[in-house]
Copies of this chain bind each other. A is one copy, B any other.
Amino acid sequence: MLTNSLDPQTKSATSLPPHDAKARVRQFMQQLQDQITQGLADLDGVESFQEDRWERPEGGGGRSRILREGAVFEQAGVNFSEVWGSHLPPSILVQRPEAEGHSFYATGTSMVLHPRNPYVPTVHINYRYFEAGPVWWFGGGADLTPYYPFAEDAKHFHNTFKQACDAHHPEYYPVFKRWCDEYFYLKHRDETRGIGGLFFDYQHGEGQLYRGPHPDNAAAMYSDSLDRIAPRSWEELFAFVKDCGNAFLPAYIPIVQRRNEIEYGDRQRNFQLYRRGRYVEFNLVYDRGTIFGLQTNGRTESILMSLPPLVRWEYGYQPQPNSPEAELYEIFLKPQDWINWTPSHTEAK
């Protein structure tokens, strides 16, 4: 699919993927799914994952794994997929016009966890790789969605991914952290989905980290154009994505261990179910992974495995002033510098 006949002025040799790129990324994505499902099943201790293997009529398939009604997780879904077809859907072509008229290949792993205890945050990761005609790219990220506010957890989550980033490029964490805040943003609520983490897309070694806000997100919070950085090779980017993927369990497990034994009642459960509604709103209205899946005739049950098992909507809900629920809205659902967070930093707001 990718050849050396590309214009040498715009495509350096380092930007070409190796001949076994697809096989290597696929293997990593499957191994990441294995590593995570093993780690989560060990953590849960009661339930294990069930797997469905599926094929996509237009090409490719996947394996969907779900753990339900566990001790820690009310639902945990971890998907691997590898798909190909004659053309990418419009939602991607608008961002990657070079792929127009070309067939495509895509592989990735995605995960959403819905814990039972409202003090344990929901979390999402997704890593993906695309090839389409003359272009290839990596995308992905990880973001944490707490129901109750613990700055310590936000700081730990961000610190873990910052370390994975810093091993590769000093600009990765600051840029991808901001991109995450911008991407996981519910415009109609004027809220971030949670405390963020990392998000990146269209990383293809051509010396540009960020292309500006997605057209869907008209109220993007960050509009600065970012400087171009030195070209990065396919190998460098793949190594970065692998380190991000491997950072997930160390980023999340300590948070579960700290919060899973906290007692809770109806108030906390009801707030959790209510806040899960925002997850549904984000995934169905804004999320590009969901839209890509539904537009490419993906497996609906696997795509919508991200939706919570039980959800509430409540007209006109407002948190009580000075409550933990109010603190979530006031501090945790707005972009924050979690790495440098201190209690006085929060109080000063």
Report B-chain residues with C-beta under 8 Å of the C-beta of A284.
Answer: 280-281, 284-285
Contacts of A277 in B (CB 8 A): 307
B contact residues around A19 at 8 Å (CB)? none
A300-337 vs B, CB cutoff 8 Å, 1 = contact: the mask equals 11011101111111111000000000000000000000
Chain A interface, DSSP helix/strand/loop, else mixed: mixed
Query: Does A166 sit within 8 A of B, measured CB to CB?
Result: no
B314–A311 touching, CB < 8 Å: no
- A52 B316 Cβ-Cβ under 8 A: yes
Check A68 for interface membership: any CB of B closer than 8 A: yes
Q: Contacts A281-B284, A301-B316, A316-B52: A310 and B309 contacting too (C-beta < 8 A)?
A: no
Query: In the bound complex, do residue A304 and residue B313 qualify as a contact, i.e. CB atoms below 8 Å apart?
Result: yes
A118 within 8 A of B: no
| Docked CA distance A301–B316 (Å) | 6
Task: Kindly provide the distance from the CB of A68 to the nearest chain B CB, expressed in whole angstroms.
Answer: 7
A150-164: which residues lie under 8 A (CB-CB) from chain B?
none
A6: Cβ under 8 A from any B Cβ: no
For A189, the chain B residues whose CB sits under 8 A away are 300
Mark interface residues in A174-199 (1 if CB within 8 Å of B CB, else 0).
00000000000001110000000000
Name the residue of chain B whose CB is nearest to the CB of A317: B301
Partner of A305, one of B301, B303, B315: B315
The 9 lowest CB-CB distance pairs between A and B, nearest first, are A284-B284, A307-B313, A311-B311, A188-B294, A188-B300, A66-B315, A284-B285, A305-B315, A301-B316
A249-285 CB contact bits vs B (8 Å, 1 = yes)?
0000000000000000000000001000100110011
Cα separation A285 to B303 with both chains bound (whole Å): 14
Residue of B nearest to A308 (CB): B313
How far, in angstroms, from A310 to B188 measured CA to CA in the complex?
21
User: 17 other contacts beyond A64-B315, A305-B315, with CB at 8 A cut-off?
Assistant: A66-B315, A66-B316, A68-B315, A75-B315, A77-B315, A188-B294, A273-B310, A277-B307, A280-B280, A281-B284, A284-B285, A301-B315, A301-B316, A308-B313, A310-B310, A310-B312, A311-B311
List B contacts of A310 (CB < 8 A): 273, 310-312
Which residues in chain A, 87-115, are within 8 Å of chain B measured between CB atoms? none
Contacts of A313 in B (CB 8 A): 304, 307-309, 311
Residue on B with the closest CB to A294?
Answer: B188
Looking at the assembled complex, report how far the CB atom of A58 sits from the nearest CB atom of chain B, in whole angstroms: 14
Taking the closest CB of chain B, its distance from the CB of A290, in whole angstroms, is: 9
**In the bound complex, do residue B301 and residue A294 qualify as a contact, i.e. CB atoms below 8 Å apart?**
no
How far apart sit A310 and B75, CA to CA, in the bound complex (Å)?
17
Ordered by A's residue number, 12 sampled pairs between the chains whose C-beta atoms are within 8 Å are A52-B316, A66-B316, A77-B315, A188-B294, A280-B284, A281-B284, A284-B284, A285-B294, A301-B316, A307-B313, A310-B310, A310-B311
Q: In whole angstroms, how far apart are the Cα atoms of A294 and B315 in the complex?
A: 16
Closest Cβ of chain B to A64, distance in Å, is 8
Cβ of A308: which chain B residues have Cβ within 8 Å of it? 313
Can you name the residue of chain B whose Cβ is closest to the Cβ of A311? B311
Cα distance A315–B303 in the bound complex, in angstroms: 10
